[in-house]
Amino acid sequence: MADIFTPEHRSYVMSRIRGQNTKPEVALRSMLHRMGYRFTVNGPKNKSLPGRPDVVLPKYQTVIFVHGCFWHGHEGCGDFRMPSSRREWWEAKIAGNQARDFRNENALRSLGWHVVTIWACALKTVSARRWLEARLPSLLGEPLSMDPQVLPKVAEDPAPYRIDSQ
């Protein structure tokens, strides 16, 4: 399928895509704050750590990355589909993003940080956010709550996030 925009207009559209304060990031920060977690977003640690994590929870020695499903190549996700035009360029671009993510996560782990990656699709719908909210404490190293009020009855993909242990 041909692009509906001219190359100049496509360039303009792509330049409008934000890298910070995206809807998934804001939704996650709101969820964390509501749950009582305190974190930094623009603190000195955020800027000095490899990969500039989206959220840093110093108390838990944990960093959280919120990855867009398309830009970071979330396999098996409905939000990730390799474009058919300029396929080689896009494959190289997304593979480069994944390689950079891997390097940053390894560097953070070597510095003693616990790394959690949450995919944007885990914050897309209300039921997905409830599912994630119920599991967030265990991702951050706390025991999972068995309170029926907290655990939602959701039959969704069991892995919309990735957690890398040390």
Contacts of 15 (CB under 8 A, 6+ apart): none
- In tens, the pLDDT along 57-67 reads 998 999 999 99
What gap in Å lies between CA 143 and CA 135, rounded to an integer? 9
pLDDT for 160 equals: 53
Alpha carbon of residue 55 to chain centroid: 10
pLDDT for 63 equals: 93
What gap in Å lies between CA 123 and CA 22, rounded to an integer? 11
Q: Provide the CATH number for the domain formed by 19-164 in this structure.
A: 3.40.960.10
- In tens, the pLDDT along 107-127 reads 999 999 999 999 998 898 898
- The H-or-E segment that residue 106 falls in is helix 87-110
pLDDT for 53 equals: 92
Which positions of the chain have pLDDT values less than 50?
Answer: 144, 148-158, 165-166
pLDDT for 106 equals: 95
Could you state, in order of their start, the residue ranges of all structural domains in the chain? 19-164
- The H-or-E segment that residue 8 falls in is helix 7-15
pLDDT for 66 equals: 92
pLDDT for 70 equals: 86
For residue 27, which of 159, 133, 113 has the smallest C-alpha distance?
133
Neighbouring CB atoms inside 10 A of 97's CB total 16
**pTM confidence score:** 0.75
Q: 23-34 and 126-139 are packed helices; what angle lies between their axes, rounded to 10 degrees?
A: 60
